[in-house]
Homo-oligomer: A and B are copies of this chain.
Amino acid sequence: LNSQKARQFRENYLDLHVYEQAQIFTELNSQQRARLYRYLTAKEVGDMFDAIEDEPEEVVKYFEEMTPQYAANVIDEMYTDNAVDILAYVPKKDLAGYLRLLPTEKAAEIREMLHYEDKTAGAIMSTEYVAIAGNQTVRSAMHVVKREASDAETIYYVYVVGSDNKLIGVLTLRDLLINDDDQMITDIMTTPVMSVKVSDDQAEVAQTIRDYNFLAIPVTDYENKLIGIINVDDIIDVIDEESAEDYSGLAAVDTEEVADNPIKAASNRLPWLIVLLLLGMSTTTLISHYEGMISQASILAIFVSSITGTAGNAGTQSLAVAVRRLASRDEDQPSVYRQFFIELLTGLVTGLVTGLTIFLIVGFWKQNFILGFVIGMAMMCAITVANLAGSFIPNLMDKIGVDPAVASGPFISTLSDLTSVLIYFNIAKLFMKFFMGT
């Protein structure tokens, strides 16, 4: 391509929103990408990479195609938080190479951020914020804002720091605009500032930003020094990620699977299916223990799926409520013990109504009210136990530090199958001579 066409191309391409550029970029083949790197500056590629939605593992491959210097330049131009997300997947030796080619300060920032634990405020914060000293006027603060406007991720919040970079106040750009040019910053800033600690869980940060309708929130270390900010667009991704995890857990499948390949889809789903099948074999073994009873009273076999199914549904309901409650981290929640007590009562009420329903159905259908009573009783007990388990298990998992959302739905169902079968056949055994006695 001659230089005329290159200029034309640059113009058209850069006219697009970076998100659209990124969408096109991911469709290119490696040859087309190589040409693109020649046409665009590192800054332009960096801006586009900030908007890329590919998995970090994919983006790493793009870096490998560039010369190390060009890659380092692109990394330098990206927002630190986005760059770090990707660099976490770069092989150790390449990473050292990139960091050597970066400006010292940026390299140090990246090195530090790579150490923050996944899913904490530190891991999702960015370091491109606007901070000013308090002992200046609105006019001079506006100069700082204008100077930083092209680099900062947001200029709509300006953070006021004291000596040692300690966070002491915050202003919105709106505050700066509506106040007089000669006002002192300390007189108009909002204080105290809502902030999060660098080690706070990302879900808690998301909850705070949502509750307060912030566009960003500052991140401080344990000495209250300002070290970064988290923007609302990063929080949207967190909220989506967390709810996708809850949802995936309830169905025992990673719902974000790229399902244009049946083998990949199957290998995503099979591990759960097989584990659940093996767990389910315990129920099968238990039923086989009662095979003698079944061959005597084959009518018992007919209602197994009805009881296990309904108890499983009740357990899943109770589980889903508990998982959402844990996820929302709302403070004015009843205590855990009170929650169990409420679940116990809820289980008894739902069990009673459902048990009564099946008692009437079986009684009239099979003209055998003793059998109906057995099945209704079993249903009620099975539902109550399933309800308690659905509430207890996620709380227990949360206490011991395991994410309660991990494939919990089917596990509750499988567990509740086991207890339901146990309850059912034992109640049936007790009353067998009555309902078979006719």
- A-side residues, CB < 8 A to B, are 17, 19, 51, 53, 142, 145-146, 149-150, 155-156, 173-174, 177-178, 194, 209-213, 215, 232-233, 235-237, 239-240, 243-244, 246-248, 250-253, 255-257, 259-263, 265-266, 269-270, 272-274, 276-277, 280-281, 283-284, 287-288, 291, 294-295, 298-299, 301-306, 308-310, 313-314, 316-317, 319-321, 323-325, 334, 338-339, 342-343, 345-346, 348-350, 353-354, 357-358, 361, 383, 409-410, 413-414, 417, 421
Q: Which residue from B149, B251, B310 sits with its C-beta under 8 Å from A316?
A: B251
Known: A235-B236, A274-B357. A313 touches B259 (CB 8 A): no
Complex Cα spacing A77 to B119, Å: 39
Given contact pairs A274-B357, A276-B310, enumerate 16 new A-B contacts (beta carbons under 8 Å). Answer: A156-B156, A173-B173, A243-B243, A253-B316, A259-B342, A261-B342, A266-B350, A269-B314, A270-B354, A274-B354, A276-B313, A283-B309, A294-B298, A308-B309, A309-B413, A309-B414
Q: Is the CB of A253 within 8 A of B321?
A: yes
Q: Is the interface of A mostly helix, strand, loop or mixed?
A: helix
Query: Most chain-B Cβ atoms within 10 A of its Cβ — which of A142, A212, A253, A291?
Result: A253
Closest to A191 in B: B15
- Neighbouring B residues of A257 by C-beta, 8 Å: 321
Q: Which residue from B173, B280, B295 sits with its C-beta under 8 Å from A298?
A: B295
Q: How many copies does the complex hold?
A: 2
Closest to A214 in B: B233
Complex Cα spacing A438 to B246, Å: 49
- Neighbouring B residues of A294 by C-beta, 8 Å: 294, 298, 301-302
- A411, chain B: closest CB distance, angstroms: 10
- Neighbouring B residues of A244 by C-beta, 8 Å: 243, 324
- Neighbouring B residues of A280 by C-beta, 8 Å: 305-306, 309-310
- Neighbouring B residues of A417 by C-beta, 8 Å: 305, 309
- A377, chain B: closest CB distance, angstroms: 15
Complex Cα spacing A178 to B266, Å: 53
Q: Which residue from B212, B349, B357 sits with its C-beta under 8 Å from A266?
A: B349
User: Which 8 pairs of residues, A with B, have the shortest CB-CB distance?
Assistant: A251-B320, A262-B345, A301-B301, A253-B317, A295-B298, A243-B243, A266-B349, A255-B324
